[in-house]
Structure 1
Amino acid sequence: MKKKWWMMGGTLGAGAALFLVSGFSAMAGTSGYDAYKSAVKMNMQAASMTNQGEITFTDNGKEVLNADFVAKIAREQGAMSLTAKIGNGDAAHAIQVFKQGDEVVFKSDASDTYRKLELGAAKWRHHGSESGPPKRLETVVDALMGHLKDRATVQDAPNGGENASLHLSGSQIPAVVNTIGSLLASNLGNFGPDGGAHADWQTEAHGLPDIKADLPHLTKDVQVRQIDLDAGIGADHYLNHQTGEIVVTGTDDAGQAHRLVISLDFNLSGFNQTVPDTIDLTGKQVEVVKREAGGPPWHH
């Protein structure tokens, strides 16, 4: 089944969240837990940062989706810029996204037109000076992970920071993580042209390139086989490197066996010093995109 690349955004985010939540909770109770939690919170509280990374999906050894990106985020200013190259192993396209003021500008290498979406004033603002995982969430996740708290390893790094690792396979993976991972993997095949009322919203309205990925629709014997997490914490206590890999196996409706591997590699830098790129639309071909009622909620 063919899948549009843009629909993978939610899946990529969910997969990354699974990695980070699993590692975050599993390191509880070890000497590295406080350092890791502090680093995560430091990153979330930073006024700005740069994330250069790569996310890859392979199915039975064949690359079916890959995204290389550089994201520059200034949280306090509500600004962001993103350059990315997204491919499926056979074709690839580059895109640019700029969030500046109350508008978002999109540009792909498939068109000379810049598409601008007016966001308007946000309906809500984050109140409070502290960002990070809610205390109640930390407590719940810690309890769910149970004995995994003792499986993480932490070592001092040559740069004065720390390296934290968590490697799980087979029966070491708790039921709750296996259930969440299996559910996510099973639903990869549901992302496509008929995935919802606004399935064509971004590709048609924003003129983004239509790259399809042959991700399997796993329906039977879906199981998370392996989770590998490695995090680098700098001497400045920021989380500056995060890698992860999750392996899921299962079969589709035709009985074909699949081994799906989701990999990520993020390098985080420029804390409190990053300035997102901007785009001057003067003299450029611009198309204003109207936001339809009931459209995607990410604009706020």
Structure 2
Amino acid sequence: MKSKKIKTIMVTALTGCMLLSVTVAASANGVSGYETYKSAAKNIAVTSNGTLSTSFEVKDNGNTNISGTNVEKLEGANNSSSTKIKIGDVTKETETSRIDGKTIVKDGENYSSRTNNDKMKNDKIEKKFDASSSKAKLGEMVLDTLVGDVKNQFVVDGDTISVNLEGAQIPELAKLAISAAAEEGNSKKDNKDESGKDGLKEALKSIPNLKNIDVKSLSMTAKVNGSTLTENDFKIVITGDDESGVSHEIEVSVNNTISDVNSTKADSIDTTGKQVQAIQNKENNRKH
């Protein structure tokens, strides 16, 4: 896909921020709040049926540079997603549907299809998160160890867990992770191999590469309904200088909603009357 690198940049930055939220949220006020959040987050991580709706916005010195939405629907082996990204005046919309072993991608007005082979299906099953695995348990132990002194900054109010950290209150590990995510975004944005014929590549060039990155503030709010995480919103503000020495304050806001757990139906893409390009799997190409 032409937008692969663009999506990678956004996923890298947003995933880095979301992982930080999980890391810091582990320090929820009191054992009860911590365990409730952690259990709810684990339940979402292992679910095979649910809808995750995400909206995000990136502001540079108060001006919105990047915004978008994503809706992902999981239904066992079937899943679908709908993504809309706006960078400056350029908007990109992509839909993906994986139903009964066949993947359909709608990229603007272009359609493509691919049939998943058994190896791809097995690989997906093997990569599925297992809360009882050694890796998961090790990650949980590390998470518990990293709670640190910020635990008293969290407030638990009914089904809501929230925190607001500024400056020195933010753990150094969190600062390093956010800086690394930003630097990774810079590196991928400048990748010369990106085709970017749909306009996003050019639009992305207007986003400054920053150095001397520092984390100004980090805030997170999560809502838990019983044992289910239903909302997880966060905001991160970083500062840095561009290549000309101009100071920038970047604000990243992400709003997540988890719904229809165990009742989600993946969407299919109607290709009736459309020209669909068939794409071979890489595994099949290697056999020829």
- Of 282-291 and 135-144, more deviation after overlay is shown by 282-291
Paired residue secondary structure (2:56):
strand
Q: After superposition, where does 1:119-198 map in structure 2 within 5 Å?
A: 119-121=116-118, 122=120, 123-124=122-123, 125-126=125-126, 130-131=130-131, 134-156=136-158, 162-192=159-189, 194=191
Give the SS at the match of 2:265. coil
| Structure 2 counterpart SS, 1:216 | coil
Aligned match of 2:286: none
Instruction: Count matched residues.
Output: 273
Which residue number in structure 2 is paired with residue 82 of structure 1? 81
Moved more, 78-87 or 27-36: 27-36
User: Secondary structure of 1:217's match?
Assistant: coil
Task: Confirm or deny: 8 A CA contact 2:87 2:200 kept in the other structure.
Answer: no
Does the CA contact (< 8 Å) of 1:4 and 1:193 recur in 2?
no
Q: Is the 8 A contact 2:49 2:262 kept in 1?
A: yes
Q: What CA RMSD, in Å, does the superposition of the two structures yield over aligned residues? A: 2.7
Instruction: Within 5 Å, give how 1:200-239 maps onto structure 2.
Output: 200=195, 210=200, 212-213=203-204, 214-220=206-212, 222-234=213-225, 236-239=226-229
Distance in 1 (alpha carbons) for counterparts of 2:165 and 2:74: 32
Q: What residue in structure 1 maps to residue 114 of structure 2?
A: 117
**Alignment match, 1:261:** 251
Counterpart CA distance in 1 for 2:16 and 2:165 is 19
* Aligned equivalents of 2:230, 2:45: Cα separation in 1: 12
What is aligned with 1:91?
90
1:279 to 251, 269, 278: 269
Letter in 2 for 1:65: I
- Cα distance in 1, alignment partners of residues 81 and 222 from structure 2: 23
Q: Distance in 1 between matches of 2:32 and 2:269?
A: 45
Amino acid at match of 1:240: T
Partner of residue 6, structure 1: 7
Unaligned runs of 5+ in 2: 284-288
Deviating runs (4+, > 6 A) in structure 1? none
* Cα deviations by residue, 1:96-115 (Å, 9 ceiling, x for unpaired): 11122333211133x2x311
The Cα of 1:209 is off from its aligned counterpart by 6.6
Cα distance in 2 for partners of 1:194, 1:127 equals 28
How far did residue 164 of structure 1 move? 0.3
Q: Distance in 2 between matches of 1:281 and 1:274?
A: 22
Q: Secondary structure at the match of 1:134?
A: helix
Helix, strand or coil at the partner of 1:187? helix
How has the CA–CA distance of structure 1 residues 128 and 170 changed in structure 2, closer, same or farther, with 3 Å as cutoff?
A: closer
Identity among equivalent positions (%) equals: 25
Give SS of 1:26's match.
Answer: coil
What does residue 159 of structure 1 align with? Answer: none
Q: Supply the distance in 1 between the matched residues of 2:269 and 2:61 (Cα, whole angstroms).
A: 41
Runs of 5+ unmatched residues, structure 1: 157-161, 294-300
Aligned to 2:74: 73
| Higher share of residues assigned helix | 2
1:10 counterpart SS class: helix
SS at match of 1:126: helix
Preserved contact between residue 59 and residue 216 of structure 1 (Cα < 8 Å): no
Amino acid at match of 1:219: K
Shift of 1:193: 5.6
CA-CA distance at 1:143 after TM superposition = 1.6
What are the Cα deviations for residues 64-92 of structure 1, in whole angstroms up to 9, with x where unaligned? Answer: 11111221112xx2221112221113232
- With over 3 angstroms needed to count, the CA separation of the structure-2 counterparts of 1:193 and 1:292, relative to structure 1, is farther
- Using the size of structure 1 for normalisation, the TM-score is 0.81
Distance, in Å, in 2 between the alignment partners of 1:127 and 1:84 is 23
Structure 2 vs 1, CA of residues 270 and 64 (structure 1 numbering), >3 Å: closer, same or farther?
Answer: same
